[in-house]
Amino acid sequence: MQARQSSLRVGTLGFIGFGEAGMAFAAGLLDDDCHKGAWDVVAFDIRTHEKGNQRRKKLADYENAGVAAAESAQICASESQAVFSLVTADQALDAALDTAPRINRGSLYLDCNSCAPDTKKKAAALIQAAGGRYVDVAIMAPVYPDLHKTPVLISGEHAHAALEFMTSLGMQARLVSGGVGAAAAIKLIRSVMIKGQEALLAECLLAGTRAGVADLVLDSLAATFPETDWKQRSDYALSRMMKHGLRRAAEMDEATLCLNGLGVNNPMAQATAIWQREIGELHLTRNECSGLSGTDKILAAMQARRSERRTSP
């Protein structure tokens, strides 16, 4: 597929990783009236190297978004004036390693992945040794409905240049003091609370379901914290874990590394990673498991998965 052409064309934006965040950012940037048609977008996602339905689905994502498909991270970087890295946290360093050999000198490399500060510093060393300008970017809210205007924090040696560039794209970036890793630390320490609350709700609700008292537990929580709709919040938390649990588990693994680096004990971060991963690995959908009745299906799927593990050679 050919990238869109325009007489107002400024250049090409590259996306390494084209999942939920990548697609949201690209959609917003391409449809923003302030610079519509000014930028082409080229994307590479590792799923295009898979066989069968996964590859077909990702190629369809490119086509539906109106972006060009690159065959590798290196090709994507070589065709771009700025690169957004939006992979899973456990793939972020590999993405930088793959991208670095072909990144254009002076190109901004906007690492939007939820990685530990030390991981981002390693990625920065790779990109900057190759002549790129690395920026630590932390996405601070869900990417829908705000798309590319979702609030982000940025830090690092090239953060001022990135702020000017991202603002020109209509993005909502805020500079934080400190080098590479400062924005990441804020995001990951916050995630201990945000993702940890999801894990707490999952553990509470699943235990309540197994004991036959889930409704009573939620009613009790509502009496103590009347400002919160606990049924809605619990359903939302479980739906996010089902859809994004594996990605969030990788993020919480990085949060554990972050806290280890600070010398802070982190049993909550570790437990959150376990819960996010366990529910994410079930590959259930919100439609299958909405409401309290859905927790029975989650418990059944968890039990079946544990039985499979026990019987596997």
Pick the CATH number of 190-311 from 1.20.1070.10, 2.40.50.140, 1.10.1040.10, 1.10.3080.10: 1.10.1040.10
pLDDT on residue 36? 72
Count of alpha carbons within 13 angstroms of residue 224, beta-carbon side:
7
As given in the structure block, the two tokens for residue 106 are 């002076």
Count of alpha carbons within 13 angstroms of residue 180, beta-carbon side:
24
Residues of the chain with CATH 1.10.1040.10: 190-311
Output the average pLDDT for the chain: 92
- Report domain 11-180's class: alpha beta
Provide mean pLDDT across the span 216-228. 97
Q: Can you point out the beta strands (E) in 92-246?
A: 108-111, 133-139, 152-155, 173-175
276-298 pLDDT, tens per residue?
999 999 999 877 665 556 788 89
The strand pair at 133-139 and 152-155 is best described as: antiparallel
Residue 215: CB atoms within 10 Å: 12
The rounded distance, in Å, linking the Cα atoms of 91 and 289 is 29
CA nearest 205: which of 296, 288, 272?
A: 296
pLDDT at 3 over 70: no
126-179 pLDDT, tens per residue?
999 999 999 999 999 999 999 999 999 999 999 999 999 999 999 999 999 999
The CB-based long-range contact list for 59-65 (8 Å cut-off, 24+ gap) reads 61/18, 61/23, 62/1, 62/18, 63/1, 65/18, 65/23, 65/26, 65/27, 65/30, 65/41
pLDDT at 5 over 80: no
pLDDT at 313 over 80: no
Residues of the chain with CATH 3.40.50.720: 11-180
175 has which bridge partners? 154
Provide mean pLDDT across the span 182-210. 97
**pLDDT band with cut points at 50, 70 and 90 for residue 311:** confident
pLDDT at 1 over 70: no
